[in-house]
Structure 1
């Protein structure tokens, strides 16, 4: 399939709310090893955001139910829920690894403008953060470290290449502060970062 056709089909899939197919089409576009347009970049982001967002929401609901059943001492239900939660976690990990692979192999290397560099490093930080949300032990630490590194890289470029009011720079500051708050449990650092930006 050609590049233009893949872009068109991604837009069509978005209209039809078929986000898995939107992802597949945008992966073709992203693998062409060229600088994506703003529209193409946003299509890629929307595709993955919807695919991961649905599963993150499912994971939160199932985790909450698991905690309630655990507190009631319903062990047989807890065992079933745990298995179901792990199934969702496997899907989450696959999606995150998928986009991180595309970012590392194609998009970051092909990025020419400051704006696209910030966009992709931020995206890398976001998807490592999503992995850290449910990972445990060493896996969690590795994901958190990679997320921190990506957000720092994005911030470095943003501070030199983007205006303080640039939407991508503001979005980065917001997500980076969420990372400090939720993943590193550093509310002070999170507030400091957010205040600096806003």
Structure 2
């Protein structure tokens, strides 16, 4: 049913289907993992795009002094933020309750790859929460994202090759987190460069089945490095966005 929902682009139903699979199965296989990720990514992606557009319009109206318009836009933005929060909390609950294994119960040989995948997802959805929240809520989401990415990285470094697409995707998303959420461009560049260099050093070990995915993510890492290095040198004006939208995170 989840595949049918995907083909019909009915992603809300795809989410519900994959939630049931996650709750019923002891361990998801690679295809099921990817279906779960794609389902939530499409549901959250549309709302993240809406939020960015609404926020941009709100800023323009504020600069024009259109207070009536601004109040209406703020209410609409709040509605989208409620939807974003609900989606993020939903997948985070599924991850914590059904998919992430306690470290003491973890069989690294069998579950290392899947646990990196799920911790990466956990980091991603806390990062999405941090994108639109403020104050204590933003701090809480940022801290939870950082912890999840750290856990994923710890498992990845001992269980996955530097060229593995999930490890590369994790490094990509983690570096975007440091750049966009923690405002740490130096750390973001360091993470992206390290992941890229480590993968280049072992490129000859790359399997044929993951070659396309891995090289695509390596290109995204390099694109971000180029963009971020350029931004750091140019020091954009205070009213300019600090970062053109970073190359989107990997669909791993």
Which residue is equivalent to 2:34?
A: 42
1 CA distance for matches of 2:115 and 2:69? 46
2 CA distance for matches of 1:10 and 1:152? 31
Does the 8 Å CA contact 1:103/1:120 hold for their aligned counterparts? yes
Matches within 5 A, 1:54-133: 54-109=46-101, 112-133=110-131
**TM-score, with structure 1 as normaliser:** 0.94
Runs (5+) with no aligned partner, structure 2: 197-252
Which residue is equivalent to 1:5?
A: none
**TM-score, with structure 2 as normaliser:** 0.74
Runs (5+) with no aligned partner, structure 1: 1-8
Bigger Rg, structure 1 or 2: 2
State the shift of 1:140 in Å. Answer: 0.2
1 CA distance for matches of 2:82 and 2:143? 21
Which residue is equivalent to 2:170?
A: 172
State the shift of 1:30 in Å. Answer: 0.6
2 CA distance for matches of 1:122 and 1:109? 13
2 CA distance for matches of 1:56 and 1:21? 19
2 CA distance for matches of 1:184 and 1:41? 28
State the shift of 1:109 in Å. Answer: 2.4
2 CA distance for matches of 1:91 and 1:161? 36
Work out whether 1:140 is the aligned partner of 2:138.
yes
State the shift of 1:108 in Å. Answer: 0.5
Further displaced range: 78-87 or 105-114? 105-114
2 CA distance for matches of 1:155 and 1:32? 27
Does the 8 Å CA contact 1:170/1:197 hold for their aligned counterparts? yes
From 149, 161, 165, the counterpart of 2:147: 149
Over aligned residues, Cα RMSD in angstroms? Answer: 1.0
From 49, 53, 61, the counterpart of 2:45: 53
State the shift of 1:122 in Å. Answer: 0.2
Find the residue that maps to 1:109 and give its secondary structure: coil
State the shift of 1:37 in Å. Answer: 0.4
Does the 8 Å CA contact 1:178/1:190 hold for their aligned counterparts? yes
Which residue is equivalent to 1:4?
A: none
State the shift of 1:32 in Å. Answer: 1.5
Does the 8 Å CA contact 1:96/1:130 hold for their aligned counterparts? yes
State the shift of 1:33 in Å. Answer: 4.5
2 CA distance for matches of 1:73 and 1:108? 48
